């Protein structure tokens, strides 16, 4: 898949496209791309996903909490798996945010990129908001520009509306199982193993303290999770704690630490990936380090035995 980050140097060519943040690349996004591909095949058009280098919420909400479901690296990898031929990461800034939909379609989609077929989600809007503007207006703009515009079908299996916001709500509540159903895969994150306080090693359960690759990447609700950990291409079982470690005095920094089961390699400075499989329990304070050690042993045993 070709990844384009500068549309000033883009090779304009006829294409079928869809535009949006595509954060999470969830099942609804997958269905939309499939529908676009089916429409594009008969026209001999490749598929282009137009998204953003920086999520619009970051531009307009500087104080927002971490919320990203996918980094650009994760997003483009997922889109490539779906057979997308080109992914354009627009530099979304205040100039672009001030563009109306009609102007955006003309100057960016048609004149810069070469879009001939545009799929719009059933509830999606783009461009500077105009009162009463929607799919009918997009279709009319497209007719003038030579862009065929169509609205994709609503994708709501079992009556559940699929959206990035729904995934975020599930993660914020610790419902990683719900998030997995909406995403079509376990929620995951990547990061670098950093040095921590080494308490885990002292009590017999060494942990990898993860510095997440993007500071805006969302972490699930504080608690203890069963995870799958990928290190150097190998997959291991693990137990992850997200939170402030309330049993320890004077610790108020939120961390993400994972104990990789039956693993003893030195991986400080290494990249690892973690996939959340299920929530085991809340993060709770214990009366002593021994009580904490006992509970971690129970957590590890549950994961190893699959109970």
pLDDT, one tens digit per residue, over 242-297 is 998 766 555 567 889 999 999 989 899 999 999 999 999 998 888 888 888 899 99
Q: What does pTM read for this prediction?
A: 0.90
Q: Where a domain ends, among 141, 159, 177? A: 159
Report the domain count for the chain. Answer: 2
What is the rounded average pLDDT of the residues 144-166? 88
Query: 34 in a domain, yes or no?
Result: yes
In this predicted structure, what is the pLDDT of residue 29?
Answer: 95
Which of 23-27, 60-64, 82-86, 156-160 has the least mean pLDDT? 60-64
Where does the pLDDT of residue 151 fall: very low under 50, low under 70, confident under 90, or very high at 90 and above? very high
End-to-end CA distance of the chain: 41
Q: Do residues 184 and 27 make contact, with C-beta atoms less than 8 angstroms apart? A: yes
Does residue 27 share a domain with residue 148? yes
Does residue 265 share a domain with residue 134? no
Q: Where a domain ends, among 140, 159, 178? A: 159
Query: 153 in a domain, yes or no?
Result: yes
Residue 238 has φ and ψ, to the nearest 5°, of -155, 165
What is the rounded average pLDDT of the residues 26-48? 95
* Residue 127, domain extent: 2-159
What is the rounded average pLDDT of the residues 88-100? 86
Q: Do residues 188 and 272 make contact, with C-beta atoms less than 8 angstroms apart? A: no
Residue (of 266, 278, 204, 271) closest to 239 by Cα position: 278
DSSP string, 187-253: -EEEEEEE----HHHHTT---EEEEESSTTBPPPSSEEEEEEEEETTEEEEEEEEEE--TTSTT---
- pLDDT-above-90 percentage for the chain: 68
């Amino acid at each position: 898949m070709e990844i384009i980050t500068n549309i000033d140097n883009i090779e304009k060519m006829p294409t079928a496209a869809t535009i949006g943040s595509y954060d999470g690349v969830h099942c609804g996004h997958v269905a939309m791309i499939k529908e676009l591909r089916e429409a594009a095949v008969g026209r001999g058009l490749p598929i282009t996903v137009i998204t953003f280098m920086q999520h619009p919420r970051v531009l307009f909400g500087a104080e927002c909490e971490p919320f990203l479901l996918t980094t650009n690296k994760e997003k483009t990898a997922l889109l490539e798996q779906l057979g997308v031929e080109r992914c354009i990461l627009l530099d979304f800034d205040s100039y672009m945010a001030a563009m109306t939909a009609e102007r955006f379609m003309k100057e960016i989609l048609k004149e810069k990129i070469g879009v001939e077929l545009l799929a719009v989600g059933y509830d999606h809007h783009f461009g500077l908001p105009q009162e009463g503007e929607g799919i009918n207006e997009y279709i009319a703009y497209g007719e003038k520009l030579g862009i065929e515009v169509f609205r994709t079908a609503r994708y709501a299996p079992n009556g559940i509306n699929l959206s990035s916001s729904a995934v975020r709500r599930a993660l914020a509540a610790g419902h990683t199982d719900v998030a997995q159903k909406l995403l079509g895969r376990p929620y995951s994150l990547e990061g670098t193993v950093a040095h921590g306080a080494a308490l885990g090693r002292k009590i017999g359960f060494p942990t990898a303290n993860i510095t997440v690759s993007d500071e805006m990447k969302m972490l699930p609700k504080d608690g203890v999770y069963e995870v799958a950990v990928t290190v150097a291409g190998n997959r291991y079982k693990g137990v992850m704690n997200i939170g402030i470690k309330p049993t320890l005095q004077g610790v108020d920094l939120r961390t993400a630490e994972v104990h990789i089961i039956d693993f003893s390699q030195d991986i400080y400075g290494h990249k690892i990936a973690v996939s959340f499989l299920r929530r085991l329990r809340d993060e709770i304070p214990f009366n002593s380090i021994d009580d904490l050690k006992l509970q971690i042993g129970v957590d590890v045993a549950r994961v190893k035995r699959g109970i």
